Amino acid sequence: DGGITQSPKYLFRKEGQNVTLSCEQNLNHDAMYWYRQDPGQGLRLIYYSQIVNDFQKGDIAEGYSVSREKKESFPLTVTSAQKNPTAFYLCASRGQGLQNYGYTFGSGTRLTVV
């Protein structure tokens, strides 16, 4: 079955560490997105990529970095510059065409600073 796989499901980060969250899709979607979800704040866009080797900052990109070397993969690195990284991180993808404006989401990664 086609879908989006996020790993790991749970991740613990020590102060000052960089950590990378994985996102892989086999839907042949061109566009991929990273969102952060905090209680009571809804989904906030971190980075998005519409094509391989290209990506744009979203609304809260500071302290995060991404790469898009393959169509299937869009990893997110949470750097030590992100001062409040504890949150639920969601990866999504979108196909092309007029009927494909909606997103398909992964199951999320919960990141906790210890």
Partner 1 sequence: EDQVTQSPEALRLQEGESSSLNCSYTVSGLRGLFWYRQDPGKGPEFLFTLYSAGEEKEKERLKATLTKKESFLHITAPKPEDSATYLCAVRGNRDDKIIFGKGTRLHILP
- Which residues of this chain interact with partner 1, rule CB under 8 A? 4, 6, 31, 35, 40-43, 45, 48, 50, 58, 88, 90, 92, 99, 101-108, 110
State which residue, 17 or 96, has the beta carbon closest to partner 1.
96
Rounded to whole angstroms, the Cα distance separating 37 from 23 reads 16
Taking the least distance from each CB to partner 1, the nearer of 14 and 41 is 41
Residue 80 CB, shortest distance to partner 1, in Å, is: 26
Considering the complex, state which of residue 80 and residue 100 has its C-beta at the smaller distance from partner 1. 100
Whether residue 34 contacts residue 74, with contact meaning beta carbons closer than 8 Å, is answered with: yes
What burial class does residue 110 get, using C-beta atoms within 10 Å of its C-beta: 0-12 exposed, 13-18 middle, 19+ buried?
Answer: middle
What's the closest the beta carbon of residue 22 comes to partner 1, in angstroms? 14
Which two tokens mark 29?
């979607």
